[in-house]
Structure 1
Amino acid sequence: MKVVLAGGGTAGHVEPALATADALRRAEPDAQITMLGTERGLETRLVPERGYDLELIPPVPLPRRLTVELVRIPARMRGSVRQAATVLRERQAEVLVGFGGYVALPAYLAARRVGIPIVVHEANARPGLANRIGARFTSHVAVASPGVQLAHGEHVGIPLRRSIALLDRSAQRAEARAFFGLEPDKRTLLVFGGSQGARRLNDTIMAAVDAVLDAGAQILHAVGAGNIDSVTARPGYVPVPYIDRMDLAYAAADLVLCRAGAITCAELAAVGLPAVYVPLPHGNGEQRLNAEPTVSAGGGVLIRDSDLTPDEFIGSVVPLLRDADRLRTMGAAAADLGRRDADDHLVRMMRHAVEQASGSDVNSGDGTDSGGQ
């Protein structure tokens, strides 16, 4: 196949697109894969590192409120759609796969203009505007969790890095704990809040280190590169600026304290790792919604950001660290909800979209495609 994937901007858009590209490459080594992004996004670094072609178009941010920027959007959108359509034509794309964000909406409109089928993947529990529009153009729509309100949505999960999707936590636990300098037999709390760390999580853990150690557990703490000089390692407490090997971090852990980004929630469910989720209190509440399916299934605990104090942590999370039976039960509940095969599922969805388009071309005889409507 000749495929264009529109997944630029944040890691939440780029990583699922790259995982899908990897799955297609495994299935079809000769597939022609192009990533569509913008010069502002993480894709300018991540996509070339993974060996994929990257084409850039101007981003079209959509303001959430009525501002003067709304007047400029139509002209910006037209230019971005033209450039995206040029990429689709030059690459002779047979299907466009969009993952939301600033790149996806112009790409959907361009695919509609060019006449190729569209596949939409929505990672968040609350779909963004781009994917809400894209889903109107196709019946090939994948969503990360059940109950996502998106037309034609099919629950497939989020495409994950292969190192996570294939992770056997039990088999790699000893290697993982040795890698981070942790004790081999102590229950382990993993704490991370994104690449920059999270002040609320960091402050809470620093105030509660003694309580965790007194409970016989240990801590692996990703504090953020800008915060590493403000913390001091000690026996049982291992701070790191960031974690490159999340697969080993997950294998080392028995419980996680983290935010509730869509990829984080999907990865923890896929590997069956219980978590205490502290959603970011910003945006439109999507992080809370991301965590709710796992929490409702019994695979996690939800604490509001404003409620995460040292006293709350010591009173509710430390006892959980001591309860091996409950941690096992929570891990099993998370694993029942997790999906490890979303990448392969999206490849099948692409093929189906292309086959349907080819069939409609033959039957209609006009060489056009309706984009799945």
Structure 2
Amino acid sequence: LVVTFPAPHSFTGEDCAELSLHGGRAVLAAVSGALTALGARYAEPGEFSRRAFENGRLDLLEAEAMADLIAAETEAQRRLAVAGADALHQACASWRERLRQLMARQEALIDFPDEDLPPEVDAALSAGIAALRDEMYVALAAAPAAERLREGLEFVILGPPNAGKSTLLNALAGEEIAIVSEAPGTTRDALGVRLDLGGVPVHLTDTAGLRDTADAIEAEGVRRARARAARADFLLLVAGPGDDFAPAPENIPHLRLRTKADLGGPGLSARTGAGMVELRARLAEAARELTDTKGGAALARPRQIACVRDTAAALGRALELSEPELRGEELRLAAAALARLVGGIAVEEVLDAVFSGFCIGK
């Protein structure tokens, strides 16, 4: 079956055709061979999307949102790619229009210096610049949550040897990931598994038990455990009956868990399942809180964050200037930085970085 898409009504805006084939890989290989013999070539990663961008069918924000949608593993990531990107697109359009109006007012002050414009005109201009800058800083403050949702969170299990960390990892994963033994110090390196907690992708990592040891390999495992904990988004501090909880690094949210309740005493038991449903719910809530973008513009990529940060910085510099010409130049720099967000300024290196992450054929 051959389906044609005449320009400009195709995905790329060019004349396109799609072939739907029966059979398996041998049929695909034979048809591909016939097409390449006639002069066709395989597409580069992201080439179709880049052509769509260059032909005005997509802007960079839409292209990045599509890439994030293709790569989404969880429902929360899918929503971020669709709703979050749409909110960012609307915010960007609003910022661009407001900045255009601010630039027009500033040019009027430059072109008509002798018209004795009332002082409230300049005051209103400054207020408008400050309001736009502050709104962008609000979006920047929410960016880490969106970025964590896009990349996934790092939850680390930390505690003394033989506290039930590996058993807890296996219970949350629903499979045997880590070796469980009654002998302390079984886990020497970080072991992890990818989980979906409340729609948020989480990499849950088991670490070596924290203790002083003369064993060089175990000591290296303890060092890695502490280093992993220092980079974590959330810590599960585990302690068995009679154990002390490990101290949590500053500014990292954590949850203290008393394990091995099946041996008597309070807490949960990964062996019997006691308290595990409640624990999973608490971890899912923590994951949602860490990735809550508050429904605003979702700056989920470093490139997007840099563009908005540069725009806000230029607006801040404009507020510090009293000379109309210098303030106007900072506003133009702000407009140039904002234009990079949607691809208004075609910088080849930026385009390569955006589209190289796509899969072949998209």
Shorter-chain TM-score bucket reads: under 0.3
Greater RCO, CA 8 A, separation 6+: 2
* TM-score calculated relative to the size of structure 2: 0.25
* TM-score calculated relative to the size of structure 1: 0.24
Larger Rg: 2
More strand by share: 1
